C-alpha cells in the first residue's frame, strides 16, 4: 500500500473517531444542560445573600436565618456584614445584591415613601409592610418580638428605691436629676430633647451631652442619674441598668422584622416557613442576652445563634 493511501486511511479513521466522540458527547451535553436547568428550577445549589448592619443583633439574627434556611432547604446562604446603615441595606436589596435582611418598622420615618406620621405600633407595622411592598417589592414579615429604639435608662437600684417604671415617674424628681445623652439628640427639634420636654413636661436639672457609647458607664458609675440608651444594648445587662417605659409613646416603634425580596419568596416560598418559628419569639430580654454573649463574652455571632436555635429545638440537624 502506498504512503498516500495509508495517510488517507489514517485520516478517515481519525475523522470517524471524532464523529463518534461528538455523537457520544451530544447526549451527555443535553443531559448536563437539562440537569442544570432542573437544578435551577428546583433551587438546588441556589444561593441567597443576607445583609446586616454594623450592630451585633442583626449579625446574630442573620446567622439564625442562615442556619434555619440551610438546615431545612437546598439553599446556600451568604452573609454580608457591616453595611453602615439601613439605607445601604435597602439599596443593596433594591439592586438584588442582597435578598434578605432584618429591618425595623421605624424605618418608614426615613422618607422612603409618604406616611401618615402615626406612632401607633400596629399602624406603623402596616405602613411598613404596605409601603415597602408597593414601592420596593419587599415582603416585610411580622416582627420577631423585640424593638431596638431609644430608651431612657437608670440603674436598677435607683429604679427600685424610687418606684420608677415609666418615664413619667421621674418628673417628680427631674430638677435634681442629671441626664446623660447623645449629643445629636439634644440638637434635634422634632424628635429630640426640645420635643421630648414638651410631650412629657420634663426638664432635667443638668444635661451632659456625650457619645452614645459612654452613657452606659456614666450612669452605672453614678456620674449621671439617667441616660438615653438603646433598648437592646448588651451593656444594659453588663451594667445592671433598667429601661423606663415610654408611656406617652414619644419615640416611634422600631420593631425588628425579617424583610425579603418578593421575587425570592416567589421562587423559594419555603424560606418563609423556615424563619417563621422566630416570629414573635425573640423578646427584648432574649436579644439583650444574646448580644451580651457576643459583645461582652466575646463569642461569635454564629456560635450564639446556633446555640439558641438548638436550645429552642428549631434545627433538624
Instruction: Report the distance separating Cα 169 and Cα 163, nearest Å.
Output: 8
E strand residue ranges, 254-302: 256-261
pLDDT at 14 > cutoff 90: no
Residue 180 grid coordinates? 446623660
Give the per-residue pLDDT at 190: 78
Q: Which of 97-106, 176-185, 288-297 has the lowest mean pLDDT?
A: 176-185
- Indicate the domain borders of the chain: 47-147+254-311, 150-243
Is 35 a residue whose pLDDT tops 50? no
Domains 47-147+254-311 and 150-243 share a fold: yes
pLDDT tens-digit series, residues 49-81: 999 999 999 999 999 999 999 999 999 999 999
Top-tier CATH class for 47-147+254-311: alpha beta
pLDDT above 90: residue 45:
no
Instruction: Provide mean pLDDT across the span 1-8.
Output: 55
How many angstroms from the chain centroid is the CA of residue 137? 18
| Spatial separation of the C-alpha atoms in residues 297 and 292, rounded to whole Å | 7
Least confident of 25-34, 112-121, 195-204: 25-34
Distance of CA 60 to the CA centre of its chain: 8
pLDDT at residue 1 greater than cutoff 70? no
Given a cut of 50, whether residue 175 has pLDDT beyond it is: yes
Identify the CATH class of 150-243.
alpha beta
pLDDT average, residue stretch 275-298: 97
pLDDT in tens, 189-211: 778 999 999 999 999 999 999 98
pLDDT above 60: residue 40: no
Q: What is the mean pLDDT of residues 275-299?
A: 97
Confidence check: pLDDT of 3 > 90: no
Q: Would you state the cell numbers that stand for residue 269, as one nine-digit string?
A: 416560598
Check residue 213 and give its pLDDT.
Answer: 87
Judging by beta carbons within 10 Å of its beta carbon (0-12, 13-18, 19+), is residue 16 exposed, middle or buried?
exposed
Classify each residue of 113-138 as buried b or exposed e, where b means 16 or more C-beta atoms within 10 Å of its C-beta: eebeeebebeebbbbbbebbeeebeb
Q: Model-level pTM?
A: 0.83
Q: pLDDT value at position 21?
A: 41
Amino acid at each position: 500500500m502506498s504512503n498516500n493511501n495509508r495517510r488517507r486511511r489514517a485520516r478517515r479513521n481519525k475523522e470517524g473517531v471524532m464523529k463518534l466522540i461528538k455523537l457520544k458527547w451530544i447526549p451527555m451535553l443535553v443531559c448536563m444542560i437539562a440537569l442544570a436547568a432542573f437544578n435551577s428550577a428546583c433551587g438546588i445549589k441556589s444561593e441567597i445573600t443576607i445583609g446586616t448592619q454594623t450592630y451585633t443583633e442583626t449579625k446574630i439574627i442573620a446567622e439564625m436565618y442562615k442556619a434555619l434556611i440551610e438546615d431545612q432547604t437546598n439553599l446556600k446562604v451568604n452573609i454580608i456584614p457591616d453595611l453602615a446603615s439601613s439605607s445601604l441595606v435597602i439599596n443593596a436589596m433594591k439592586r438584588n445584591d442582597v435578598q434578605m435582611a432584618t429591618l425595623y418598622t421605624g424605618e418608614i420615618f426615613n422618607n422612603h415613601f409618604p406616611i401618615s406620621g402615626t406612632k401607633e405600633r400596629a399602624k406603623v407595622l402596616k405602613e411598613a409592610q404596605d409601603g415597602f411592598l408597593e414601592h420596593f417589592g419587599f415582603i416585610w414579615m411580622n416582627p420577631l418580638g423585640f424593638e431596638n429604639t431609644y430608651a431612657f435608662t437608670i440603674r436598677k437600684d435607683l429604679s427600685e428605691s424610687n418606684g420608677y417604671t415609666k418615664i413619667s415617674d421621674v418628673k417628680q424628681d427631674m430638677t435634681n436629676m442629671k441626664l446623660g445623652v447623645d449629643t445629636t439628640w439634644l440638637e434635634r427639634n422634632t424628635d429630640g430633647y426640645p420635643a421630648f420636654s414638651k410631650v412629657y413636661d420634663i426638664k432635667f436639672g443638668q444635661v451632659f451631652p456625650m457619645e452614645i457609647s459612654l452613657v452606659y458607664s456614666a450612669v452605672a458609675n453614678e456620674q449621671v442619674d439617667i441616660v438615653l440608651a438603646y433598648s437592646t444594648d448588651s451593656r444594659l445587662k453588663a451594667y445592671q441598668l433598667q429601661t423606663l417605659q415610654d408611656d406617652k409613646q414619644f419615640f416611634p416603634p422600631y420593631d425588628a422584622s425579617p424583610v425579603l425580596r418578593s421575587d425570592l419568596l416567589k421562587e423559594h416560598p419555603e424560606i418563609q416557613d423556615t424563619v417563621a418559628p422566630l416570629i414573635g419569639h425573640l423578646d427584648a430580654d432574649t436579644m439583650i442576652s444574646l448580644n451580651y454573649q457576643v459583645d461582652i463574652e466575646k463569642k461569635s455571632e454564629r456560635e450564639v445563634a446556633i446555640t439558641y436555635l438548638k436550645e429552642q429545638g428549631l434545627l433538624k440537624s
